[in-house]
């Protein structure tokens, strides 16, 4: 599977207006859901057991699992971590 192509995401007006970690996270999660809704929903249900987490409260491990499963490259995962203020593990 090809990488997600995140570079284009950061130029979108909705991302540029995301001034908090929660809004940035919501933007990223929404883009992932648009990519493959069924896969994304199944993944989120498995990780969070049906609860709807706040993006800013998600752990680095949870973000990594989601991004990898959705096809992100290691470089893209690092970009998301930087933008979400998470530390690489």
Q: What is the pLDDT of residue 2?
A: 59
The dihedral formed by the CA atoms of 50, 54, 57 and 58, expressed in degrees to the nearest 10: 50
Write out pLDDT tens, residues 31-88. Answer: 999 999 999 999 999 999 988 889 989 999 999 999 999 999 999 999 999 998 888 7
Ranges of each domain in the chain: 10-84
Per DSSP, helices labelled H in the chain are 13-16, 21-35, 37-48, 60-69, 74-84
Tokens of 82: 């930087």
Tokens of 62: 């949870």
Q: CA triplet 33, 77, 34: central angle to 5 degrees?
A: 10
How many other C-beta atoms are found inside a 10 Å radius of the C-beta of residue 75? 10
């Amino acid at each position: 599977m090809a990488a997600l192509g995140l570079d284009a995401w950061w130029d979108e007006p909705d991302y540029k207006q995301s001034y908090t970690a929660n809004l940035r996270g919501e933007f990223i999660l929404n883009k992932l859901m648009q990519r493959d809704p069924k896969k994304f929903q199944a993944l989120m249900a498995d990780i969070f057991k049906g609860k709807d987490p706040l993006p800013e409260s998600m752990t680095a491990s949870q973000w990594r699992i989601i991004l990898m499963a959705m096809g992100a490259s290691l470089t893209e995962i690092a970009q998301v971590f930087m933008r979400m203020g998470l530390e690489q593990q």
